[in-house]
Amino acid sequence: MSRMSFQNGLSRRTFLKGLGLAVGASALPGYGVFGQADFVNIGAVVPLTGQLASFGSRFQVAAQIAVTEVNVAGGVPGVGLLRLEVRDSGTNPDQGVAAAEELVNVVGVQSLFGAAASGVTIPITSVTVPNQVLQISPSATSPAITTLDDNDFVFRTALSDESQGLVLANLAFSGKGYRKVAIISRNDAYGAGLSDVFKSAFEEFGGEVTSVSLYDPNTQDFSAEIAEATAGNPDAISLITFDEGEALISQMVQQGVTNFDLLVDGNKNQDLIDRIVASTGPELLEGKVGTGPSPAPTVGGATFDALYREQLPEDPFIFTPHSYDAIALLALSMAAAGEDNGVAMRDQLRNVANPGGDFFTVGELGAAMAAAAGGQDINYEGAAGSQDFDAAGDPEGPQGLWTIEGGKIKDTGLGACGRDANGTLTCTVTPL
């Protein structure tokens, strides 16, 4: 089919009016924006507090854009209108599991959006997988998720850190010319997984990793990690952190250590950068670089960007396009299944996402759901990219490259790595 801005005659004004009402009323009893209809609940476990608190509220806004688009189009054909049942993970595995248990066992959701951190997402699968609940995370990137024994119930719309680690290593070795680096990282599924891939790839390129310092995510004193990282006199120290990176950087600067660089998706947070700039000035961060899943420019991405900016006075936050896509795919799999059922939705998910069917994107969910409900093979390509799932439930695509200029995060390119016929690791970078 041809690409179009909005489906079924749905005007931008009508869509935004519905979105504003839905977001404003999502916490009201009965969620009566679209009348007193029964709703199909999609569970959401996101970090509204804790070390990723600045992520969760934005994920919720992005997810709600997709929910509202579905509801303005009349809901999922033959199933009903959608409602996002949100619970706070606290960026804490125990709280995340408790939230998932409530959503699955009390609310009765058949699908779950989240969690954000890999260290919360993986424990939550102990609830979703045995209960046959389809789970899609927009931002859990640990390589360990690829090999989960999950009976194909766990998917993600963000790339694995298997690819991020390779691109980060290439950025360090070829982009910045570093030959010796140290790593300071969270000791959780996310940090340990990403640091392992980065270390192996950097050494394969010919560099030396002088140390890997893994810290307890709840620590407040980084003196031991800083001492270990600086002992080997590295060219740069890579930081794999969440918001605790602010305290880590502050303590490094107090000790005169300023050669930190090679940041990652957990650091790609303008709120975090603003706080660091306020305490240290912008010069300290100038030219620092990082990686993280970043959407390739697409028609759907441009539409999402405009809708997101209508809700928040900022450019789309990292993983917010992936959040929209996660909800869109849940709705489309529900339409194809003809019911709100985790097993049936799981079995339809690749049918609505992978190549072979008619193209649909952001702003076309009404038409896409109708086609899927009618048995038509569709190919959803969303705000974050193609969203073609492999056998492990992982998508494919490039990693984003970014830098800090004048205290602001700036996307600079897209990187991808692979092995040639001789097994040699090679990478390409496409400037934005």
Q: What is the pLDDT of residues 107-141, one digit of tens each?
A: 999 999 999 999 999 999 999 999 999 999 999 99
**Domain match, 150 and 95 both:** yes
Residue 393 lies in a domain: no
pTM, 2 dp: 0.91
Strand, coil or helix: 372 = helix
Q: Is pLDDT above 50 for 32?
A: no
**Domain match, 270 and 302 both:** no
Range of the domain at 179: 162-287+400-431
Separation CA 169–CA 146 (nearest Å):
21
Total structural domains in the chain? 2
Residue that wins the pLDDT comparison between 65 and 294: 65
The 8-class DSSP code of residue 80 comes to B
Residue 348 lies in a domain: yes
**Domain match, 218 and 349 both:** no
- List beta partners, residue 290: 263, 402
Residue 390 lies in a domain: no
CATH code of 414's domain: 3.40.50.2300
**Domain match, 168 and 80 both:** no
**Domain match, 83 and 217 both:** no
Residue 7 lies in a domain: no
Residue 115 lies in a domain: yes
- Would you tell me how many other CB atoms lie within 10 Å of the CB of residue 35? 7
Q: Is pLDDT above 50 for 28?
A: no
Residue 241 lies in a domain: yes
Mean pLDDT along residues 203-208: 98
Q: What is the pLDDT of residues 328-354, one digit of tens each?
A: 999 999 999 999 999 999 999 999 999
Question: CB within 8 A of 389, min separation 6: which ones?
Answer: 155, 349, 350, 353, 354, 395
**Domain match, 376 and 276 both:** no
**Domain match, 40 and 96 both:** yes
* pLDDT reported for residue 20: 42
Strand, coil or helix: 338 = coil
Q: Is pLDDT above 80 for 7?
A: no
**Domain match, 266 and 304 both:** no
* pLDDT reported for residue 10: 41
**Domain match, 186 and 318 both:** no
Q: Is pLDDT above 80 for 58?
A: yes
**Domain match, 273 and 320 both:** no
Question: CB within 8 A of 325, min separation 6: which ones?
Answer: 66, 138, 157, 380, 382, 383, 384, 387
Which two tokens mark 376? 């038509």
Q: Is pLDDT above 50 for 22?
A: no
**Domain match, 177 and 63 both:** no
